[in-house]
Amino acid sequence: MRQLISLAALSAATALPASAQDYNLFVSNEYGASVGVIDAEGREVTTLPISGRPGEVRPRGIAISPDGRTAYIAVSDFNPASERPEDSIVAVDVATGSELRRIRAGGNPERLAISPDGRVIWASLEAIAQAAAYDAETGAELGRFPTGVEPEGVAASPDGAWAYITGETSHSVTIIDAREMKLVTHLLVGNRPRDVIFSPDSARAYVSAEIGGTISVIDTGDRAVVQTIDLGLDSRPVEMVLSPPGDRLYVAGGGTSTVYVIDTASGEIIAEIAEQMGRRPWGITASPDGSRTFTANGMSDSITVIDADCLCVTGQIPAGRGAHSVEMGVVDVQG
């Protein structure tokens, strides 16, 4: 069993706080065709094989159900234009690590989001410029919507009202009325928008633009970009996560191996964490208490642990080949 690798005097300083120890990390290994499950101490719990064909089948986006008990993984292949049987959403029981079901999602599903009631899975279908909504239990398709070319980022608002999907090549965000299953509009944002997330109160959405080097802040009521946070042309922002109260935005800079920390009230960058970061941090998530942030590092096959107090790297956890996304799921609190 692999252990958390210390960077300095590890021990208690690196282990997750007790409040977070009911959680496992789920890491999609894009080139390993597997999902790693790692416990709060950094120990490998298990590795779930997604396919016996690593290098051909690629798990990428992960979403965790609101109760924390089910992990959904977007599975596709390395030829975005081909339609393969593997194009699907795989549901995994967080407690046992066993596969629950596969939902057919043709068109190269890349990222996922779950509605706050846990009933609807939203997926970006990268190869066909569409977003789709599926019933989480039955897999039935509930809606399908045009997006920009190469859709990627997906988010469902905490209030259940909206689903947002980014379009990388079109520099767009598609807004869908999630209750009515109705396309509302599209917005232009920065170049190559990768990820989108909502604030806890659903009033704001944040969109990272990898080539533009910006974060677009969208007022969800007005459906308009109200602020553009400039991280620098070469910052390469990809996935983002908010601290639980929403006061800090952590942004993974994939191409720069840096995590940018933004004060959401001011829009100012308060830290750039580069020292001892893993290579090519792509996925990013935060512990429920906000004390730790984790990045999935595709080039170093690792998870980097960032402490929220010092805003510094405190640990590295080995992951599988090509770590892409990382999310947290509940393990011990199930009744």
Partner 1 sequence: MSLSRRLLLGAAMAGLAAPALAQTAPRLRVGAVLPLGGPDLPLAPANLGRPARAALDGLTLSAEDAAQNAGLFGGGVDLLVANAPTAEAARRAAARLIAHDRVSVLVGGFTAEDALALSETAAATGTLFLNIAAPQDALRRICDPLTFHVEASAAMYLDALAGWFVRAGHRRWMVVHSDDADGQALMARLDSRLGGAHWGARLAGAVAVDPAARDLRAAAREMARTDADMVLLLTDWMTQLDLLAAAESVGTPLPVTGFPWAAAQTRWFYGASRQAAPEAGRSYRATLWEPTLDSYGARELNARFAARWGRPMDAPAWAGYQAVKIATEANLRTSSLSGRDLAAWLSDPATVFDLHKGIGASFRPWDRQLRQSLYLVQIAAAAEGGSELERLEARAALTGELPAIYMPGTDPVQRLDQIGDMARDMPRCG
Task: Give the span between the Cα atoms of 93 and 99, in whole angstroms.
Answer: 6
CB of 110 to partner 1, least distance (A): 10
Q: Should residue 39 be labelled a site residue for partner 1 when binding is judged by CB under 8 A?
A: no
Spatial CA neighbour of 304 closest among 317, 291, 322, 287: 317
Q: Should residue 258 be labelled a site residue for partner 1 when binding is judged by CB under 8 A?
A: yes
Q: Which of 66, 116, 118, 255 binds partner 1 (CB under 8 A)?
A: 255
10 Å CB burial of residue 90 (0-12, 13-18, 19+) is buried
Q: Should residue 210 be labelled a site residue for partner 1 when binding is judged by CB under 8 A?
A: yes
Task: Give the span between the Cα atoms of 264 and 252, in whole angstroms.
Answer: 16
In the complex with partner 1, the residue whose CB is nearer, 20 or 299, is 299
Neighbour tally for 83: CB within 10 Å: 14
CB of 255 to partner 1, least distance (A): 6
In the complex with partner 1, the residue whose CB is nearer, 92 or 175, is 175
Q: Which residues pair with 77 in a beta bridge?
A: 57
CB of 172 to partner 1, least distance (A): 6
Spatial CA neighbour of 281 closest among 294, 270, 268, 264: 294
**Part in contact with partner 1 (CB under 8 A); list of ranges 12-20, 145-153, 199-207, 286-294:** 145-153
Spatial CA neighbour of 54 closest among 80, 73, 28: 28
Spatial CA neighbour of 109 closest among 127, 121, 91, 92: 127
Q: Should residue 257 be labelled a site residue for partner 1 when binding is judged by CB under 8 A?
A: yes
**Part in contact with partner 1 (CB under 8 A); list of ranges 15-23, 117-125, 255-263, 327-335:** 255-263
In the complex with partner 1, the residue whose CB is nearer, 76 or 285, is 76
Q: Should residue 274 be labelled a site residue for partner 1 when binding is judged by CB under 8 A?
A: yes
Residue 233 CA, chain-centre distance (Å), reads 22
Binding site for partner 1 (CB under 8 A): 78-82, 126-127, 129-130, 144-150, 167-172, 174, 183-186, 188, 191-192, 210-213, 233-234, 255-258, 274
